[in-house]
């Protein structure tokens, strides 16, 4: 049975409190220097671990950390460097193409609206939201696989559509909490509330919901 918005807000408060105790200051997992390097790192992270992305991006950014230098490096060299991240054909072409578009249309800067970001090659709603939030401090609630799974398990959303889940979470949690909460939920999902299994006896969250 789906919960009322009031019940979801009550649940959200309990969850926020527990997550704040567990992860008081969650770091941004993808290493970056500015909006451009963050955008590239998020593109690299599709179907790849953050650890691997950070290893690869370090090598890539040592050679090219601006759109101009990325174009100079060329799509083949980008592909060779990022190969360990997987999907290197598509990712390298997207990084190359978006670097060109940034230079041609945005004076080499990363745009600051969801519409403009989502028009760039390889940039979807989640990637755009991460960049807006972490590079520009613009409140958003990116929904990745962990957040989607946990929002469903916690009864905060019944949807399997990330856009709808994002909208619902924005209604439940105060805007000022989104940036930190987004990271806290991801850390909690990776550590405790995994896709294949979960230990409800050890877990600090769901047992509160009956009270």
Both structure tokens of 85: 């991240």
147 exposure class (CB count in 10 Å sphere: 0-12, 13-18, 19+): buried
Shortest spacing between CB 18 and ligand SF4, in angstroms: 9
Which one among 17, 153, 175, 208 touches ligand SF4, defined by CB under 6 A? 153
For ligand SF4, the closer of residues 72 and 153 by Cβ is 153
| Residue given tokens 């593109």 in the structure block | 43
**205 binds ligand SF4, rule: CB under 6 A:** yes
Give yes or no for a contact between 81 and 57, defined as CB atoms under 8 angstroms apart. no
Q: How far is CA 82 from the centre of its chain?
A: 19
Shortest spacing between CB 4 and ligand SF4, in angstroms: 20
SS3 label, residue 116: helix
Show the binding pattern over residues 163-202: x = contacts ligand SF4 (CB under 6 A), - = does not.
-----------------------------xx----x-x--
For ligand SF4, the closer of residues 41 and 193 by Cβ is 193
Nearest to 210 by CA among 14, 22, 5, 6: 14
For ligand SF4, the closer of residues 117 and 168 by Cβ is 168
- Residues recognised as catalytic: 126, 144
Shortest spacing between CB 177 and ligand SF4, in angstroms: 18
Shortest spacing between CB 58 and ligand SF4, in angstroms: 33
**203 binds ligand SF4, rule: CB under 6 A:** yes
For ligand SF4, the closer of residues 77 and 192 by Cβ is 192
- Distance separating alpha carbons of residues 124 and 118, to the nearest angstrom: 5
Helix (H) or strand (E) holding 115: helix 114-118
- Distance separating alpha carbons of residues 99 and 66, to the nearest angstrom: 8
Binding site for ligand SF4 (CB under 6 A): 153, 192-193, 198, 200, 203, 205-206
């Amino acid at each position: 049975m789906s919960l009322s918005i009031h019940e979801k807000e009550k649940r959200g408060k309990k969850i926020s409190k527990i997550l704040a105790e567990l992860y008081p200051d969650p770091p941004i997992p993808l290493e970056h220097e500015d909006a451009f390097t963050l955008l590239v790192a998020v593109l690299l992270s599709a179907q790849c671990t953050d650890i691997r992305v950070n290893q690869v991006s370090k090598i890539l950014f040592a050679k090219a950390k601006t759109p101009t230098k990325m174009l100079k490096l060329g799509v083949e060299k980008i592909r060779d460097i990022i190969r360990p991240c997987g999907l290197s054909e598509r990712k390298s072409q997207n990084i190359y193409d978006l670097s060109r578009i940034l230079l041609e249309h945005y004076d080499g800067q990363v745009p600051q609206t969801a519409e403009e970001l989502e028009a760039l090659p390889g940039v979807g709603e989640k990637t755009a939201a991460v960049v807006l939030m972490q590079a520009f401090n613009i409140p958003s609630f990116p929904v990745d696989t962990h957040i989607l799974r946990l929002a469903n398990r916690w009864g905060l959303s019944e949807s399997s559509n990330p856009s709808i889940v994002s909208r619902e979470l924005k209604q439940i949690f105060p805007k000022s909490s989104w940036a930190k909460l987004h990271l806290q939920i991801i850390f909690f999902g990776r550590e405790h509330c995994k896709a294949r299994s979960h230990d409800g006896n050890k877990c600090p969250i769901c047992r509160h919901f009956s009270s």
